[in-house]
Amino acid sequence: MSAASTTQSQRENWEGEARGLAHPVDGKLDTRHGAILYLDDVTVSFDGFRALNKLTLDIGVGELRCIIGPNGAGKTTMMDVITGKTRPDSGSVFFGQTIDLTRHTEPEIAQLGIGRKFQKPTVFEAMSVHDNLALALAGNKSVWASLRSRLTGAQRDRIGELLATIRLTEQHQRQAGLLSHGQKQWLEIGMLLAQEPQLLLLDEPVAGMTDAETEKTAELLLTLKGKHSLMVVEHDMDFVGSIAQKVTVLAEGSVLAEGSLAQVQADERVIEVYLGR
Ligand SMILES: Nc1ncnc2c1ncn2[C@@H]1O[C@H](COP(=O)(O)OP(=O)(O)OP(=O)(O)O)[C@@H](O)[C@H]1O
């Protein structure tokens, strides 16, 4: 399925609106065909080396998709293309039917409703868990203005909900720098959720976590599925097995295999390039 059926004027119309509004995606993302993200024939070359090679995949609305593949397969480059950090040499990248992501900047793409979590947590260590979430809710207001302004009842409720979702209610007054590695990762996920992304990209969310933290992260992501669409890049196969519906295996910049974890684990080509014999 491609977004090519959308007329140019529909796209321009939408993009015009998108640039002018604070929350342009509210109720407006066109996912009539069931997918939230389309990559079609995307190629990215670095000095002649194809990090992505005619990559085609789409993510369904509310889906939790796991992406696996060997080092250098192009997983990070794919996320860079989706979030506007890297421009493809060719191919198309659409958010819903109508938003051509290659025509937007990184901040615009975040505003459009795509949140990205990098591997390393980047919370404000000197501030409390609560204040980190309050800042994230304030969005692009200046840090000092948002810390000084009093929270509305709705904002307080939202922070309460976020704390419960990320399982940090009891730690809300704790300084973020004192949290465990796993708790910092959850806080950062909470900060992304505060911006109400429709699509969340997570890069190795359980790297460095204890087994108990990994389990809790799996529970957390399963609660987000449906409300958000998620793309999770992970090497930890037990974790992938605990959350995945559908797994995409990338290799040499293209999709090598796609299906349930059991299906891709049984695929000879996947065993060859990634899982080992
Ligand atoms: N900015 C760049 N300049 C040159 N080569 C790059 C650049 N970014 C990525 N590459 C190369 O593109 C290929 C794909 O890299 P990428 O980081 O996307 O893979 P990955 O699947 O995320 O790997 P890993 O699992 O190790 O994170 C690699 O060979 C990498 O060296």
ipTM: 0.94
List all residues 6 or more positions away from 226 whose beta carbon is below 8 Å from its beta carbon: 62
Which element (helix H / strand E) includes 92? strand 90-95
Average pLDDT over residues 49-73: 96
Weakest-pLDDT range from 9-13, 181-185, 224-228, 245-249: 9-13
252 CA → ligand 1 middle, Å: 10
Dist CA 217 CA 205 (whole Å): 8
Weakest-pLDDT range from 4-13, 117-126, 180-189, 211-220: 4-13
What DSSP assignment string belongs to 185-247?
A: HHHHHHHHHHT--SEEEEESTTTT--HHHHHHHHHHHHHHBTTBEEEEE---HHHHHHH-SEE
pLDDT at residue 144, rounded to an integer = 58
Ligand 1 pocket: which of 77, 79, 236 to mutate (most atoms within 8 A of CB)? 77
Structure tokens at 8: 């140019």
45 CA → ligand 1 middle, Å: 10
55 CA → ligand 1 middle, Å: 15
pLDDT at residue 16, rounded to an integer = 39
Can you tell me which atom of ligand 1 is nearest the CA of 79?
18
pLDDT at residue 154, rounded to an integer = 86
> CA-CA distances (angstroms) from residue 11 to 5, 41, 115?
11, 20, 22
Average pLDDT over residues 198-207: 95
pLDDT at residue 5, rounded to an integer = 43
Can you tell me which atom of ligand 1 is nearest the CA of 70?
25
Q: Phi and psi of 245, rounded to 5°?
A: -95, -60
Dist CA 248 CA 78 (whole Å): 12
pLDDT at residue 15, rounded to an integer = 41
83 CA → ligand 1 middle, Å: 16
Q: How high does pLDDT run on average in the chain? A: 87
Weakest-pLDDT range from 5-9, 89-93, 174-178, 258-262: 5-9
- Confidence class for position 163, pLDDT limits 50, 70, 90: very high
